[in-house]
Structure 1
């Protein structure tokens, strides 16, 4: 399949620290690609570099055939977002003092009022994330951790996006909320939305991933199909230091 997002030899420095060491990554259009690796491997830095929050010092990042990052490329984070990429950080980044409704409205750049947001799209979000509708007028800060994560993803999808970057959506959630999150992301997959998902929960990775890239020490050390990795205990041990079977 053709790649919607492509990273070629991407390096990222943060101050005196050299974090990414020549990352090569392909994200096929219409698929959910898992980005796995041990803590500190460079996964979050990769997402932030794609968004231009930390500029790549070397290499190239292409989105739909156009350079959006890399040496000599000046695309800003707002420009990258406007090209059709949404980012859900690990911190979720919701506005705690605003209501759920107000959080979604802020993310809808083309709307000045909630009435200007496409009704069918809101109904679609309510179907995927029922808590969003239930707590529509609640301050977002009073939601549970799982509900906040649902809001963060719904906010990224309130307008059509071509690519969604999500950083560890199941982190810190109770098992029941993880199941709800997986169900919602499965619904999202059915829409052919292209997703790059960082995850530490390997059951989530196995259930959702089409493709997979594994990072170690700031570079991609393996890329392939998630189903193949899920069936190969030796490869899991070698690349990740543990087995998916131990998370059943």
Structure 2
């Protein structure tokens, strides 16, 4: 597969703090790349740097062969990259419908696409006119992801979508990502649920202390317990 996203020597400072130290990895087009690592390794900072929410202080970020390192966040989004942050970032005072309308670049939603989304997240249809702030945590996560995939995107960045969710909702999210994968949507996914990582991941990059310390096929990492323990501090089987 060709490379859709490439980070080369990316460093990020937040105020006086040096968070990323020369991050290098590639995201192949049409697959799911897992970005794994211990808490505080720099995974969220990496996603936010790609989106231009924090500016890289050094290095380059290339998307589809174009240097987007200095792009403002709206320009990154217009290039075809969608971002689902860990904190969901929905508009609590607006209805589910209004949140979705705001995600549509032309202000109009495609009915077929919306019906497809409801197939994975039926609660959104049920609470269509309800305030987003009244949804449960899992439903808010559904809404956050639905906003990001309302229109087809080249690349989807997702930060820990299953954190604190019930198994049934995790199953719906996994099904949704599997379907996006079949549609050749490229996904860069930060996730602590290793069962999901093994089910979805094609390739993997592992971070530690602001650096990439391992990259390769997800299957190889999933089959090597000693490598998992060395890189992540525990085996995947021990953390489902």
Query: TM-score band (shorter)?
Result: over 0.9
Partner of 2:98: 102
Decide whether the 8 Å contact of 2:95 with 2:129 is kept in 1.
Answer: yes
Describe the SS at the equivalent of 1:8.
Answer: strand
Q: Does 1:148 align with 2:144?
A: no
8 Å contact kept, 1:128–1:187: no
Which residue in 1 is equivalent to 2:17? Answer: 17
In structure 1, what is the Cα distance between the partners aligned to 2:120 and 2:79?
24
Conserved? CA contact 1:229–1:236, under 8 Å: yes
Pick the aligned partner of 1:219 from 207, 211, 214.
211
Pair 1:52 & 2:52 matched: yes
Residues 105-124 of structure 1 mapped to structure 2, 5 A cutoff? 105-111=101-107, 116-124=108-116
Number of residue pairs aligned between Structure 1 and Structure 2:
240
Q: Secondary structure at the match of 2:24?
A: strand
Could you tell me which residue of structure 1 aligns to residue 88 of structure 2?
A: 92
Unaligned regions of 5+ residues in structure 1, if any? none
TM-score by length of 1: 0.94
**CA displacement, residues 58-109 of structure 1 (integer Å, 9 cap, x when unaligned):** 000000100001xxx3x11111111110110000001111111000001112
- The answer to whether the Cα contact below 8 Å between 2:120 and 2:172 also exists between their aligned partners in 1 is no
| Aligned-CA RMSD value | 1.0
Which whole-Å deviations, capped at 9, do the CAs of 1:155-205 have from their partners, x for residues lacking one? 011122110000000001122222222222222222111000001111111
Moved over 4 A (4+): none
Greater Cα offset, 36-45 or 129-138: 129-138
Q: Secondary structure at the match of 2:68?
A: strand
Alignment partner of 1:183 is 2:179: no
Give the structure 1 partner of residue 225 of structure 2.
Answer: 233
Name the CA distance, whole Å, in 2 between partners of 1:117 and 1:180: 22
TM-score by length of 2: 0.97
CA distance in 1, matches of 2:211, 2:166: 31
Distance of 2:119 and 2:167 partners within structure 1 = 21
